[in-house]
Chains A and B, each alone.
Chain A
Amino acid sequence: MGRSNRIIVTVLGKDRVGIIAGVAQVLAENNVNILDISQTILQEFLAMVLIADMSGSRVDLTTLKAQLDARGKELGVRIDAQHEDAFLYMHRV
């Protein structure tokens, strides 16, 4: 437990220009490295999942979440960040 420093950032909301740039900027400013991005458009809605490494992060997850949440409000989308284990534990044995 707690070995991995990877987080999963999910973005859900209406698609528009600059969402990925907006999220990536918050991560870059905190020295969080993006490992993988995948996204899909369901009707006009964007569902984006981004896996990032927090080992070099300047802030803790709670602070990062608050920053992402604020950025999500500016962009009109919902942004969540959760520890990777929440997903790995549910879907992998």
Chain B
Amino acid sequence: MLALDEILETIKMVQEENLDVRTITMGINIADCAADDARATARKIHTKITRAAANLVRVGNEIEREYGIPIVNKRVAVTPVSLVYQAESEEDYLVIAEALDRAAAAVGVNFIGGFTALVQKGFTPGEKTLVRTIPRALAATRRVCASVNVASTKAGINMDAVCLMGQIIKETALRTADRDGIGCAKLVVFANAPEDNPFMAGAFHGPGEPACVINVGVSGPGVVKNAIEKMPGADLGRLAETVKRVAFKVTRMGELVGRVAAERLGVPFGIVDISLAPTPAVGDSVAEILEAMGIERCGAPGTTAALALLNDAVKKGGAMASSYVGGLSGAFIPVSEDAGMVRAAAAGALSLEKLEAMTAVCSVGLDMIAIPGDTPAETIAAIIADEVAIGVVNQKTTAVRIIPAPGKKPGDYVEFGGLLGRAPVLPLNRYGARDFVRRGGRIPAPIQSLSN
């Protein structure tokens, strides 16, 4: 029988510490929707998604009520569109992006991922067209999320793609200039992109996945922070032990919700992504966890070590709690989506370079960072190159979701609202790497890739 204090602990986690399941994401294979032309393909994609995900939101809400665990987002991820249809013109891909947007609206999800190309080793003509369509697609739709995998440990870094993404990110920001470049918040550049990531904006349904699957992303920074705050002066070994225990409990909730959702929707259960995902809500911050551990301001010396401890303890606790762990699974450090990160950036404690160092020990990369609008495309490409190099060499996923906010200077704020939050524009190193990124070509796979 359950003890009273156990029941009250669960209630407190949900009611006071923002414990929630961040997302249940239905992955849908749409590879069979390819038709002779883009319009017919778009129609088939729309039909397939609206059929497969028809009950997703209803079932999610039902579970939320019955189990008393908030499920913040219900989302859909599809097969990378470039693998479904190789278009010759941008208009063709626009038609498909719009169909995805309409399908997402029809089933009631706020984001749909999969306007994606995997080009770590090179482009097909269709993939290049899809990537070039991204700025228009993200400006013309509200719910569609795009991602491009430009590097992997096995393939190396496609510097032509990195270079192109610098331009694409700039153009995406300009096309959504009236909303501070919000299009860039829906665009992720990856190294080693996972095929089963439930978190937006980088979710897509990888080619190795089954026809349809439910993946779950947990959350819980508030729960971890409160546990740490109760242990002033405790040594770091004990702190790690506590984080592990909390991560275990948080992940069990994700496992439960995922299994019930999969059963009720009649599709297989995929994975639980055991990431610590912050929101702009007070107390739901990864930066505040690090500060509770004794870092004066997130970004100060010691931040990387504290984050390494946190990330590792979350994984150890989470891995024991779920039968199938996957996706990104690590602490997220998005700036605009985390009130503590925003505070640290505004105070000058957190720089782009420190964020880059932090991504070497956690998930997932330079995330939701606003930079000056006049940053050259080559500098954005160089930032991407640095970040994916960390992923490629360390055999982990890294990503860049960066917003060159049109017309904004360091210290100005960008405002996205909702879960995307707000952030100060960070200053950048004033030197660039134009001649380096313009060389193009492919940086060879590192020696670590020769593991056979």
Contact = CB atoms under 8 A, between A and B. Distances in A.
Contact of B2 (A39, A80, A81, A88): A88
B75 to A, nearest CB: 22
Interface residue tally on A, bucketed by range: 20 to 34
A49 B11 CA distance: 11
Contact of A89 (B8, B66, B256): B256
A38 interface: yes
B39 interface: no
Nearest to A85: B256
A80 B263 CA distance: 25
Interface in A44-92: 47, 49, 51, 61-62, 65, 80-92
B282 to A, nearest CB: 21
A83 B8 contact: no
B67 A1 contact: no
Contact of A91 (B2, B65, B68, B260): B2
B7 interface: yes
A43 interface: no
A61 B67 CA distance: 10
Given A1-B260, A80-B11, A89-B253, A38 B69 contact: no
B256 A61 contact: no
Contact of A86 (B4, B8, B69, B259): B69
A85 B259 CA distance: 12
Contacts of A39: 4
B252 interface: yes
Which interface residue of B62, B260, B263 has the most chain A CB atoms within 10 A? B260
B1 interface: yes
A30 interface: no
Interface in B119-150: none
A42 to B, nearest CB: 9
Interface string B254-271: 011001100100000000
Interface in B3-62: 4, 6-11, 62
B60 to A, nearest CB: 14
Contacts of B408: none
A82 B7 CA distance: 11
B249 interface: yes
Given A90-B249, A91-B6, A62 B256 contact: no
A15 B445 CA distance: 67
A2 to B, nearest CB: 7
A87 B252 CA distance: 10
Given A86-B10, A86-B256, A89-B256, A61 B66 contact: yes
B1 A87 contact: no
Interface in B381-419: none
A51 B2 CA distance: 10
A87 B2 contact: yes
Given A61-B66, A65-B65, A89 B252 contact: yes
A87 B263 CA distance: 19
B8 to A, nearest CB: 6
Interface of A: 1-2, 8, 10, 12, 36, 38-40, 47, 49, 51, 61-62, 65, 80-92
Given A47-B8, A83-B66, A91-B9, 11 more contacts: A1-B260, A38-B4, A49-B7, A62-B65, A62-B66, A84-B2, A86-B256, A87-B6, A87-B10, A89-B255, A90-B6
The 10 closest A-B pairs by CB, nearest first: A82-B68, A86-B67, A89-B256, A91-B6, A90-B252, A89-B252, A90-B249, A83-B66, A49-B7, A38-B4
